[in-house]
A and B are shown apart, each in its own frame.
Chain A
Amino acid sequence: MQTPSEQTTRWLNYGILLAGLMPFLQLAQGGFAHELGANPVETIAHTTGLWALRLLLATLAITPLRAIRGWHWLARMRRGIALLGFFYATLHVLNYLVFDHFFDWREIVQDVLRRPHIAAGLTSFLIMVPLAATSSKSVAKRLGSRSWQRLHRGAYAAAIAGVFHYFWLVKQDTSSPALYAAILALLLCLRLDAASRTRPGDRNHSGHQPSSSHPSGIAKPRPTQ
């Protein structure tokens, strides 16, 4: 695939932002029109939670796609997709704090301590906060690409915690969380496979198997953005 120009990339990013905001706009419209069903708070929780998880997994899929298909330009979409995911995760947490518990902190603390799925969800969100906070180019530059990368590997931990959160909360039908778990497992396998091909500190891929036509691109320092 041809690498798109700067201009095209910018438009692609606008497109992703617009498309990514559609579920939110639908929720907002449904909320005002009273069309979120019999249990609107539950509808908001499900929609925002699912989109947070989907977008988080989408950001994790970018690196393997670069490695396998050579679509390096996808890296420039990653920040937008990740921030959209964080946006939905934040809405999800706010829905829980405000509509579910109305800031009853004692109840919330008990909920976190007693219920593994709440603890997992909170863990996932807390991991995402510093990632979102350090997402801008200037902060990334100040941190240096190696420590920035190390920090942002936390996205995998956030996704794992997110999938556990989903798995543990459903009553009986685990088919949907199982699907997300399978996707995450695949992404983790690709990540571990790529990591095993490059020794730590090995910057120029000398240990890379020549048979692979596409460099893994994972352990490589991020291309300058």
Chain B
Amino acid sequence: MSKMRSPKIDPSEITPKEIYQARRLFMRMAAGVTLAALAPSVPRAGEALPGVRKSRYVLPDALTPYADATRYNNFYEFGTDKESPARLAGRLKTRPWTIAVEGEVHKPKVFDIDELLKLAPLEERIYRMRCVEAWSMVVPWAGFSLAELLKRVEPTGNAKFVEFTTLHDPEQMPGQNSSLLEWPYREGLRLDEAMHPLTLLAFGLYGEVLPNQNGAPLRLVVPWKYGFKSAKSIVRIRLLEHQPVSTWMRAGPNEYGFYANVNPLVDHPRWSQAKERRLGEFFKQPTLMFNGYAEDVAQLYAGMDLQKLF
């Protein structure tokens, strides 16, 4: 029996490595194109956000003009002046985007943004937004209570605080090339504050997909606290046993506290918090205790010295 001999392969018949690899690349690209065609397109700022319901959270105050709310932003990841975020935030890619919910929870999970959007019905909520710099606006946000998400991951008995982390990618967020703040941006809430129904996980404003400069694809909105507490472009939510140190606390511990509740009686060391200027208005108006949400949230701070725990 003669041994079976494999037929000789002429070297010219061997597929060159580059072509072989190019073919794989082509297949992958084809698959990508097919997937992209099947998947809903990336929602863009300015597109209507479907299925947003009206809610009981309305205000008698006039809404801040859309142009002001989307062109006058504090978002240091895109520069320290108010106009830079609107100019530079186009670099931020909001898809694919995942949010890791982890720490002191029974069911940690990494959510895809499009999955999170369907977690609970989106509501329109008109909130006052008071910046620590004594200006304010009135914005109709679209989202649902953060509690909806936190309930699903089941916080453990040890969970006392929640930490929010913004994306860290200097390629997309050029402001992170400066060491002005410690990146990534971190903020925190006490668990009861995070579970409060007013605390909103927002995906849109004015019925539309959140513009990047306002914190796309999802941000926090805590209306009774100064604006910097409402972390933008969140990638991680971590439940903790101990109080986290937020970015602004680290940058100026005697100027920015963990609570940062809007309080006209407690001045910022360098300016008064008694009054505020609504965007679009010339003269200032008095600032309200807890930004006008005292009825809903004052009991969270019963017995606390708000002068010390500012």
Q: Which residues of A contact B (CB under 8 A)?
A: 37-42, 99-102, 107, 110-111, 114-117, 168-169, 171-173
Tell yes or no: B148 within 8 A of A by CB.
Answer: no
Partner of B72, one of A39, A107, A168: A39
- Contact A39–B279 (Cβ < 8 Å): yes
- Given known pairs A39-B135, A172-B80, the reply for A111 and B279 (CB within 8 Å) is no
- Contact B72–A38 (Cβ < 8 Å): yes
- Contact B272–A107 (Cβ < 8 Å): yes
Partner of B282, one of A38, A40, A117: A40
- Contact A38–B279 (Cβ < 8 Å): yes
Partner of B283, one of A37, A102, A172: A102
- Given known pairs A37-B72, A39-B135, A41-B277, the reply for A169 and B282 (CB within 8 Å) is no
**In the complex, what's the smallest C-beta–C-beta distance from B91 to chain A, in angstroms?**
20
**CB contacts between A and B, total, < 8 Å:** 49
- Of A37, A41, A99, A171, the most chain B CB neighbours within 10 A belong to A171
Q: How far is the CA of A183 from the CA of B304 in the complex (A)?
A: 47
- Contact A41–B282 (Cβ < 8 Å): yes
Tell yes or no: B27 within 8 A of A by CB.
Answer: no
**Chain A positions within 8 Å of B80 at CB level:** 171-173
Enumerate B71-101 residues with CB–CB distance to A below 8 Å.
71-72, 76, 80, 82-83
Q: How far is the CA of A151 from the CA of B157 in the complex (A)?
A: 71
**In the complex, what's the smallest C-beta–C-beta distance from B83 to chain A, in angstroms?**
8
Q: Which residue of A lies closest to B76 (CB)?
A: A172
**Chain A positions within 8 Å of B180 at CB level:** 172-173
Interface 1/0 per residue, B126-137 and A, CB below 8 Å? 000000010100
**Chain A positions within 8 Å of B282 at CB level:** 40-41, 99
- Secondary structure at the A interface, as helix, strand, loop or mixed, is helix
- Contact B68–A168 (Cβ < 8 Å): no
**Chain B positions within 8 Å of A101 at CB level:** 284
Q: Which residue of A lies closest to B81 (CB)?
A: A173
**In the complex, what's the smallest C-beta–C-beta distance from B285 to chain A, in angstroms?**
11
Q: Which residues of B contact A (CB under 8 A)?
A: 65, 67-68, 71-72, 76, 80, 82-83, 133, 135, 180-181, 251-252, 267, 270-272, 274, 277, 279-280, 282-284
**Chain A positions within 8 Å of B277 at CB level:** 39, 41-42
**Chain B positions within 8 Å of A168 at CB level:** 270
Given contacts A37-B71, A37-B82, A38-B72, 5 further A-B contacts (CB under 8 A): A38-B67, A100-B284, A110-B272, A171-B133, A172-B252
Partner of A38, one of B68, B181, B251, B274: B68
**Chain B positions within 8 Å of A107 at CB level:** 272, 274
**Chain B positions within 8 Å of A102 at CB level:** 283-284
**Chain A positions within 8 Å of B71 at CB level:** 37-38
- Contact B270–A172 (Cβ < 8 Å): no
**In the complex, what's the smallest C-beta–C-beta distance from B274 to chain A, in angstroms?**
8
Q: Which residue of A lies closest to B279 (CB)?
A: A38
**Chain A positions within 8 Å of B272 at CB level:** 107, 110-111
Q: How far is the CA of A59 from the CA of B204 in the complex (A)?
A: 51
Q: How far is the CA of A111 from the CA of B267 in the complex (A)?
A: 11
Q: Which residue of A lies closest to B73 (CB)?
A: A38
**Chain A positions within 8 Å of B72 at CB level:** 37-39
- Contact B280–A38 (Cβ < 8 Å): yes
**Chain B positions within 8 Å of A110 at CB level:** 272
Q: Which residue of A lies closest to B181 (CB)?
A: A172
**In the complex, what's the smallest C-beta–C-beta distance from B225 to chain A, in angstroms?**
17
- Contact B82–A169 (Cβ < 8 Å): no
Q: How far is the CA of A114 from the CA of B133 in the complex (A)?
A: 17
- Contact B251–A172 (Cβ < 8 Å): yes
Top 9 A-B pairs ranked by shortest CB distance? A38-B72, A38-B68, A173-B80, A38-B279, A172-B180, A173-B180, A115-B270, A39-B135, A102-B283
Q: How far is the CA of A172 from the CA of B178 in the complex (A)?
A: 12
**In the complex, what's the smallest C-beta–C-beta distance from B181 to chain A, in angstroms?**
7
**In the complex, what's the smallest C-beta–C-beta distance from B179 to chain A, in angstroms?**
11
**Chain B positions within 8 Å of A39 at CB level:** 72, 82, 135, 277, 279
**Chain B positions within 8 Å of A40 at CB level:** 282
**In the complex, what's the smallest C-beta–C-beta distance from B134 to chain A, in angstroms?**
10
- Contact B283–A99 (Cβ < 8 Å): yes
Q: How far is the CA of A99 from the CA of B67 in the complex (A)?
A: 22
- Contact A115–B251 (Cβ < 8 Å): no
Q: How far is the CA of A101 from the CA of B134 in the complex (A)?
A: 13
**Chain A positions within 8 Å of B76 at CB level:** 172
**In the complex, what's the smallest C-beta–C-beta distance from B265 to chain A, in angstroms?**
13
